[in-house]
A and B are shown apart, each in its own frame.
Chain A
């Protein structure tokens, strides 16, 4: 993906009810667990702390 996130709005604004909905939906989401599993595998396979 060439262009994924860009700068920048002055401020992010949302309604309280929307924040509540997103928080509840987020708590049920599998992606958090999946993110961590895939990340750990990536660190094991690919990440280096110092230049070789």
Chain B
């Protein structure tokens, strides 16, 4: 495999039962996340997207998205929310975003910065798809993710902001140090 991504042809497809076998061998280097990805095909509340290497027919990245809400506490000046009540903003959520080991840190071009990777470009394309859904099909105010600590700077580079940890925690799924982040649509 080449060292740069510019020669790779990427095909994006929705995860369906017909092509679910693609994620059987998906390995992002983290066993827990591999298990999340494998189980995601059975989660009716998410839609999974595969980004495939068209020549090698294997998975580069996997993204799983769903509808979500962000509860806003208090009054927002200038917005038509009920004063001093909790309000829920509609949002989209990237439940999972993972890239296979062999494609991680792969620069887009020889001259690219270390941040301009195939994974980053694929993530931008994922945001574009979500934006399109929000404009054309179901409106939302932005996108949320629940980021692992070491990926926070990745999301910040793509327009996300951390917010205070007022998130209600699901003890079963909570991972220490993970950070809620949001990118409002502008």
Contacts and interface: CB of A to CB of B under 8 A. Distances in A.
Interface of A: 1-20, 22-23, 25-27, 29, 31-32, 35-36, 38-39, 42-43, 45-52
A5 B146 contact: yes
Given A3-B148, A20-B77, A9 B95 contact: no
B10 A31 contact: no
Contact of B33 (A3, A36, A45, A46): A3
Interface of B: 5-6, 8-12, 28-30, 32-33, 36, 54, 68-77, 81, 89, 91, 93-99, 101, 104-105, 108, 116, 119-122, 124-125, 127-128, 144-148, 150-151, 154-155, 157-159, 161, 163-164, 166-170, 173-175, 178, 180, 182-184, 186
A38 B158 CA distance: 11
Q: Chain B at the A interface: mostly helix, strand, loop or mixed?
A: mixed
Contacts of B91: 12
Contact of A39 (B33, B68, B128, B168): B128
A4 B74 CA distance: 31
Given A5-B97, A12-B70, A52-B54, A47 B12 contact: yes
A5 B148 contact: yes
B72 A15 contact: yes
A46 to B, nearest CB: 5
Given A6-B36, A42-B121, A25 B12 contact: no
A14 B164 contact: yes
Nearest to B105: A1
B75 A31 contact: no
A7 to B, nearest CB: 5
